[in-house]
Structure 1
Amino acid sequence: MRSSHNLSAVFDDPNLVSCAGLAPTMALAQRAGLAALVTEHLSLSKPGSANAHLKVPALVAGMVAGADSIDDMDLLRHGGMGRLFTGIRAPSTLGTFLRTFSFGHVRQLDAIASRFLSGLTRHAPVLAGADQIAYLDVDDTIKATHGYAKQGVGYGYNKVKGLNALIATLSTPLAAPMIVGTRLRRGNTNSARGAAKFVADALATSRAAGATGLLVVRADSAYYGHDVAAAAHRAGARFSVTARNNTAVTAAISSIPESAWTPIHYPNAIWDEEEQRLVSDAEVAEIPFTAFTSRRKSEHITARLIVRRVKRLNPKTVPAGQGELFATYRHHGVFTDTPLGMLEAEAAHRAHAIIEQVHADLRSGPLAHAPSGSFAANSAWLVLAAIAFNLTRAAGALASLFHAKATTATIRNHLIAVPARLARSARRLRMHLPQGWPWQDAWEALFTTACGPPSPAMT
């Protein structure tokens, strides 16, 4: 490929747009009831908070199109965008709007996000298989910040100064994750602080979104505690939480007989044809276990401890005071009450890492910045980022099977950031898109579903 030397450029066409995919995507948001939910549930009253039903969708649209700061919202005001949409606002207006939020308003926005997700599930197959089994993954991430003007910043568990974002996602074996809960916290907050209430809210949202089958809460060892497990039980869900290597867990692992260990598929695993078994440096076993015995007896929880052991590459790193078993192997325990078989439950727990992909998607998009000095404004920004993430995922699900599980960046590049020229014919606005666009079929599937006659509700 070579560029032409006979080239010039001029910004002079008022009928061009750079993100034509916003048209069907925001039509989908309207069908799912975003503006109506804002009108019903958001009760802002400060100066600068008027027309929230226009400003919230504008912020979401900017994030879907790739905005990761308030100034980037200017990408909604180019070419023919004013003909394509009404209610577009300047970045300064949207920034003022965000600064009118208080903690209570952020919680109202949480309620809007929850109901909006339920609306999306009625119009797009974003949670296929949730009536059979679904996984609620909970984890937090530190959003690094710089300077001293932002409220709530502190040094978190990774020694990075920033804000702590607690996030819950819902996924199934057939569907990519959707965000069902967010909470922005001070940077130096303990990971498990408020986790039980957060899990309870996320479980309620998951049920409302269609997770009517087996629902499993997955979390790492930061959330290994009675309150999180009890919150799952109260909501009729199961739990699968990485166990901390405390004295009780270590004693339980030591009591597992050598004959109980089963090799599993793992990196470098080999199938021995002669012996008809796996030869692997990773093995799994399980044992009944009662956790949280330091609490009152009624709060003890008995379930299974599923342990994966992997041979140490450097036996000298074994912690002092542990026996020969721990010198040879590293052990990873999972405390769970799921009805799944041992190997299936262990593999399902390892899939908890899927939430890291959501963190990465957010950090490479709207969460690239915490754009305001106001903690409440940044909290609202995080909730809006979750709404934009779910809306983008729903658009991908309507486009094609590939885009249903693609990353946010891929969906944006293929379906949202499509240039178009606007023209009017027979009193209708028509978009002329690039000929030969590689993902034309997927884009047209999204457009037909989102902008055509209403279709029957998804089941």
Structure 2
Amino acid sequence: MTHEQSRLNSARRRRRVVARQRQAGHWGQRPEPMLTSGKISYEIGGNVEATPYGGLFAMHRLVTRLGLAKAIDAGLELLKIHLPYHESDHVLTLAYSVLTGGTRLQDADRLRNDVPLLNGLGARLLPDPTTIGDFLRRFTETDIVALMDTINAVRPQLWRGRGADLLGEVAYLDVDGTIVPTTGQLKQGMDISYKGIWGYAPLLVTLANTREVLYLVNRPGNAPSHLDAATWIDKAIALMTPYAPRVCVRGDTDFALTANFDRWAQQVDFVLGTDNIAALRRRAEALDASAWQRLQRPAPYASKTGTTRARRHNRKQQVVAERGFVNLRLNHEDVAEFTYRPGKCGRDYRVVVLRKNISRIKGEQALIDEVRYFFSFTTYPAATHTPAQIVELANDRCDQENIHGQLKSGLNALHAPVDDLHSNWAYMLIAALTWNIKSWHAMMTHRKHDLHSFIRIEFKRFLDTVIRIPAMVIVRARAIVVRLIAYTVNIDRFFSAWTTTERIRFGYG
């Protein structure tokens, strides 16, 4: 079947779906519901075999053409002999298990028992869950860093090509820590966090432009967010500097590591929150009233129709008032700026201060107005970035929390299924590779609108619309044919990305 025939078949199926949906406006009153049931018989086909994960082969082809499998085998030496699996077999099997919706090691069995899927991956056999677990336990910190460096070594092929528009003029590096809880009692390296939660405290450095995870570092649960963060920020800066005209590092108050400011300022820009210390607060309170400007935040979204709906009644606010709970209500926000030299720095830095005027209300009675200050250090000059723009940049960093949420609840990547710090670190890193593959696939889409929508798509929706496409796999003498046997709304975008993947000449081909 030629590409043109596939396109025509896709168009034909799309017309059928649209025609069926158009009938909704022509139905009159029906005596019975739409959902009915007749007698159904189940059979197992004798000659036709299909897999529910038809979209996985496009991801595997992209990974292969990027040369990731070869790079893993060259850069990772955990197995003395290969009977029969190589390092890349273990890494990609676990990654593909997560990519197809797996949430634990045992889910790799779904892939091992899916013959059409094995045929499409060109594999006679895949590692079983026990073997994968043993493989994860072989990792040391040196091996994990080598795997991260190997994954990062293939990314530039995308950043120089399809991802160049996403990087734009500034690559934004966001850094933050999170907590991975566990109910296990025997997992080595876990500890209790400041929130009283047992588990691990990984650090993540992400590229906001493409939403990729660049570095993931597992640490005991009692580790503060900033622990060894400067080392990984430096590695991320070195990784991104060749591929973007400018790099900007963003982080919350835990990452205002002033001992590193002078060195970072020579290489990149940064917007880093800092604690509300007495010295900064005194400077802010001493500012003249003319130094403050009212902050006008943009609307969260623009109406496509030009009209806005009436705001619904705030039920939560009503209950808070009726029961006399203390409520904090934001009245207005102001911004100002001044220069300040931290004790560990050899130069002054611009400090943007956000002042929030908050009313404390109990029931219907206003108690007292409260003023809170929030500070950010930045290297951006006032000539190019106003205080309001610095506040917006600082707030945009909060999108990293959405990535954390996807890695936790979408992929179950921030999870501790193995028995010690390093093996769980290896699991988290390989599972997070799945999230990166999603971003790499988005870069293969042709239209700019599709590119941005697929970059931001939630993993579960990506799984349902791109990966879970029932397909037949036909193995021929010189090629493998994947025949999609179901229609999805994103099928045209899927073929667009597939065509781009095959057309581009990557380093490994």
Question: Is TM more than 0.5 here?
Answer: yes
- Please give the alpha-carbon distance, in whole angstroms, between the structure 1 residues aligned to 2:45 and 2:115: 9
**Residue among 68, 75, 91 paired with 2:110:** 75
The Cα shift of 1:432 comes to: 2.5
Any idea what SS the aligned residue of 2:146 has?
Answer: helix
The Cα shift of 1:131 comes to: 4.7
Equivalent in the alignment of 1:336: 378
The Cα shift of 1:367 comes to: 2.0
The answer as to 2:414 corresponding to 1:379 is: no
Q: Given that residues 21 and 418 in structure 1 are in contact (C-alpha distance below 8 angstroms), is that contact kept between their aligned partners in structure 2?
A: yes
Letter in 2 for 1:281: H
Equivalent in the alignment of 2:253: 221
Any idea what SS the aligned residue of 2:208 has?
Answer: strand
The answer as to 2:116 corresponding to 1:86 is: no
What are the equivalent positions in structure 2 for 1:53-452 lying under 5 Å apart?
A: 53-77=88-112, 78-87=114-123, 88-122=126-160, 124-125=162-163, 128-172=165-209, 176-208=210-242, 210=243, 212-230=244-262, 232-233=264-265, 236-266=267-297, 281-291=332-342, 293=343, 295=344, 299-314=345-360, 328-339=370-381, 340-364=385-409, 365-367=411-413, 369-399=415-445, 400-401=450-451, 402-423=453-474, 428-450=479-501, 452=502
> What do residues 118-148 of structure 1 show as CA deviations (whole Å, max 9, x unaligned)?
24435642x5252511211000110111121
Any idea what SS the aligned residue of 2:398 has?
Answer: helix
Equivalent in the alignment of 2:320: none
Q: Given that residues 171 and 246 in structure 2 are in contact (C-alpha distance below 8 angstroms), is that contact kept between their aligned partners in structure 1?
A: yes
Letter in 2 for 1:346: V
Letter in 2 for 1:345: I
CA gap 1:9/1:376 in 2 versus in 1, 3 angstroms: farther
- Please give the alpha-carbon distance, in whole angstroms, between the structure 2 residues aligned to 1:110 and 1:227: 26
- Please give the alpha-carbon distance, in whole angstroms, between the structure 2 residues aligned to 1:257 and 1:84: 69
Any idea what SS the aligned residue of 2:69 has?
Answer: helix
Normalising by structure 1, we get a TM-score of: 0.85
Q: Given that residues 420 and 431 in structure 1 are in contact (C-alpha distance below 8 angstroms), is that contact kept between their aligned partners in structure 2?
A: yes
CA gap 1:351/1:310 in 2 versus in 1, 3 angstroms: same
Q: Unaligned stretches of 5+ in structure 2?
A: 1-33, 301-329, 363-367
Any idea what SS the aligned residue of 1:146 has?
Answer: coil
Equivalent in the alignment of 1:274: none
CA gap 1:242/1:11 in 2 versus in 1, 3 angstroms: farther
CA gap 1:215/1:25 in 2 versus in 1, 3 angstroms: same
Q: Given that residues 415 and 424 in structure 2 are in contact (C-alpha distance below 8 angstroms), is that contact kept between their aligned partners in structure 1?
A: no
- Please give the alpha-carbon distance, in whole angstroms, between the structure 2 residues aligned to 1:10 and 1:368: 39
Equivalent in the alignment of 1:273: none
> What do residues 187-233 of structure 1 show as CA deviations (whole Å, max 9, x unaligned)?
1111111011111011122225x2x2221111101112223434523
Q: Given that residues 199 and 228 in structure 1 are in contact (C-alpha distance below 8 angstroms), is that contact kept between their aligned partners in structure 2?
A: no
CA gap 1:123/1:10 in 2 versus in 1, 3 angstroms: farther
CA gap 1:30/1:122 in 2 versus in 1, 3 angstroms: farther
- Please give the alpha-carbon distance, in whole angstroms, between the structure 2 residues aligned to 1:53 and 1:142: 29
- Please give the alpha-carbon distance, in whole angstroms, between the structure 1 residues aligned to 2:482 and 2:299: 53
- Please give the alpha-carbon distance, in whole angstroms, between the structure 2 residues aligned to 1:267 and 1:206: 30
The Cα shift of 1:268 comes to: 9.2
Letter in 1 for 2:148: D
Any idea what SS the aligned residue of 1:313 has?
Answer: strand
Q: Given that residues 170 and 178 in structure 1 are in contact (C-alpha distance below 8 angstroms), is that contact kept between their aligned partners in structure 2?
A: yes
The Cα shift of 1:405 comes to: 2.6
Any idea what SS the aligned residue of 2:155 has?
Answer: helix
Letter in 2 for 1:89: P
Letter in 1 for 2:400: I
> What do residues 428-459 of structure 1 show as CA deviations (whole Å, max 9, x unaligned)?
43222244421111111122222x243489xx
- Please give the alpha-carbon distance, in whole angstroms, between the structure 1 residues aligned to 2:219 and 2:293: 41
CA gap 1:181/1:282 in 2 versus in 1, 3 angstroms: same
Equivalent in the alignment of 1:454: 504
- What is the total number of aligned residue pairs between the two structures? 426
> What do residues 15-40 of structure 1 show as CA deviations (whole Å, max 9, x unaligned)?
21111111111111111111111122
User: How well do the aligned residues superpose, as a CA RMSD in angstroms?
Assistant: 2.7
Q: Given that residues 20 and 417 in structure 1 are in contact (C-alpha distance below 8 angstroms), is that contact kept between their aligned partners in structure 2?
A: yes
Any idea what SS the aligned residue of 1:147 has?
Answer: coil
Normalising by structure 2, we get a TM-score of: 0.77
Letter in 2 for 1:417: R
Q: Given that residues 119 and 475 in structure 2 are in contact (C-alpha distance below 8 angstroms), is that contact kept between their aligned partners in structure 1?
A: no
> What do residues 158-198 of structure 1 show as CA deviations (whole Å, max 9, x unaligned)?
321111110011123xxx42111110001111111101111
Equivalent in the alignment of 1:276: none
- Please give the alpha-carbon distance, in whole angstroms, between the structure 2 residues aligned to 1:217 and 1:11: 56
- Please give the alpha-carbon distance, in whole angstroms, between the structure 2 residues aligned to 1:179 and 1:228: 23
Any idea what SS the aligned residue of 2:207 has?
Answer: strand
Any idea what SS the aligned residue of 1:35 has?
Answer: helix
CA gap 1:54/1:214 in 2 versus in 1, 3 angstroms: same
> What do residues 85-106 of structure 1 show as CA deviations (whole Å, max 9, x unaligned)?
1342222221111111112111
- Please give the alpha-carbon distance, in whole angstroms, between the structure 2 residues aligned to 1:425 and 1:36: 24
Q: Given that residues 196 and 231 in structure 1 are in contact (C-alpha distance below 8 angstroms), is that contact kept between their aligned partners in structure 2?
A: no
Q: Given that residues 415 and 428 in structure 2 are in contact (C-alpha distance below 8 angstroms), is that contact kept between their aligned partners in structure 1?
A: no
Q: Given that residues 273 and 375 in structure 2 are in contact (C-alpha distance below 8 angstroms), is that contact kept between their aligned partners in structure 1?
A: yes
CA gap 1:72/1:223 in 2 versus in 1, 3 angstroms: same
Q: Given that residues 32 and 123 in structure 1 are in contact (C-alpha distance below 8 angstroms), is that contact kept between their aligned partners in structure 2?
A: no
Any idea what SS the aligned residue of 1:369 has?
Answer: coil
Q: Given that residues 271 and 379 in structure 2 are in contact (C-alpha distance below 8 angstroms), is that contact kept between their aligned partners in structure 1?
A: yes
